Structure 1
Amino acid sequence: MSAEGAAVELPAAPALAGQLVRLARPRQWAKNLLAVPLALLDAGPTWAGAARAGWAVAVFTCAAVLVYIGNDISDRRADRLHPAKRHRPIAAGRISVPVAAGFAAVVALLLGSLLLLGPSVPPWPVAAYLLVNVAYSRWLKHAAPLDICVVASGFVLRVLYGYGAVGAPVSLPLLSAVFTGCLVLVLGKRRHELGTAGPEHRPALAGYTLPLTDQLLGLNLALTAGAFLLYLATEAPVDPYRQAVLAVAAPAGLFAAFRYLQAIHVHRAGGDPVRALLHDRLIVAAACVVGLVLAAAIAAHHHPTLLTWMGP
């Protein structure tokens, strides 16, 4: 019996609405929040900026859902060979390809409506994100290490769109930190896949080895730390509290990075980077420390009378 036929004979699936929600992968939507805090912090916290940044998140969430559906349709046969991805709705046969395509059409209509009715923001990051992901799904995902660069570029496009939405200039060191930081997360995922799946599921894995991923992880982690520290030391709008911000944010950020490496190498995590980050209380705590310190210093920078207790 073929894999397609076996999928049809699976036990009764949950309600269609629940499967469509699973298809949209709401657990991955946290990635789209990357467009909010960085842009808002640099632009200065305002209600109007928050509303525009939230709109940018909604736009990229719709774009990401379109990509998830397209990838699940395209990869449904390979996903059945993966120990975790075989449970995805399309691969498991709980949602047919025509139903998934119809759901994608609805999401595309919603995305178009948001772009037409929302603020006047150049849409090229969204268009580039969709086009790059089509190329990735068809060709680029098989080319290592180009595949990880393409995935990381999606996060850079999210940040660019968020900055465009709030009208803030983009920092090149910050963009570099986002790109290399995302490469760290993607490399952690590839490292995990080397031990749990294989080239049958992801042909690009034939271009990786554990020593190579470990070297690339170390390189990109160093680049991320350097670029982020350069941003804090030069371009982050945190005057006159720059030294205090560096004193707190630098060790907290490095601790979070070390903790993620520990999760990859010791606890064999990394298969789902979002889950690995959000389910580790120490990483979340360190990220909150960095975020709160930056938010307080930037708020004081834009509104000097707001936090007079901090002192220069």
Structure 2
Amino acid sequence: MIKSRKVWVGLGAAVLAGAGVGAPAEAQPLARGIEQAAPGEASAARDLVLRVAESHAGHAAAGDGEGEGGGAELAPDLRLTRDLALISGHLTVGNELVEAGRWSEAMVHFLHPAEELYGGIAGDLKSFGIPPFAAALKVLAQTVKAQKQEAYEGALKTVRDRLAAADAAVQAKTADWPGLTLDAVLEVLNTAGEEYEAAIEDGKFKLVVEYQDSRGFILQAEQMLAAVAPDLEKKNAGAYAALQHELAELKKAWPSAVAPGKPVLDVSEVLGLIAKAEIEIGKLM
């Protein structure tokens, strides 16, 4: 069980204990924040955090949810929506690097979708009647390797169109698309937290690729929420506004696609903000 999963177990214990005593360092800021909340809000937050902690503890005990892909315990529509989002996140940060002229650095982000994710969704694509797009991913990676700008732009548009069509196919078979989107956003945020943690060693970014991956995932989560914003605002405008605030604070950890000399936010701060975002998402469910 990696560190970010332990946070949830400790956080649940902290909330039960009251003041966060005995919780991991990553969990204590959020536990204290809950204790300082108004009585009614604190009670609701405790309930949400305990449900989240129990859920994550169960996944961790089963060895699920570590790294990209995986998630055999997830419903097929959620697993597919999450993995399509992770692919989009890779493309987002890869495109930022291409636009900055950093083609070689971008290359890995166009290989990851096929190497880490596509194999896991091939069966789900078939189940949902979505045409395969492995060949389109391969062509896109080849244009990046060749650094052919015009061919790249066309190949990128093709893959993005296929991803949009895949999302639409899932949405057409989903009774509650905003709810599924929120579930997928939770998965994407947690994956981003894990990638960010993996990037840092001795207070520095040692695995820049993981920093960049996590940036792409955060940006993708933001886009996913914006796409269902009217539904979320209608359901709970206050929670949606609070969620936007947490995401804005969270994004400060990734000032650009090029990693800063040292982390703007440490791991505990990033995981704490993800935890707070998860509480607000819980209010929108």
What TM-score do you get using the length of structure 1 for normalisation?
A: 0.33
What TM-score do you get using the length of structure 2 for normalisation?
A: 0.36
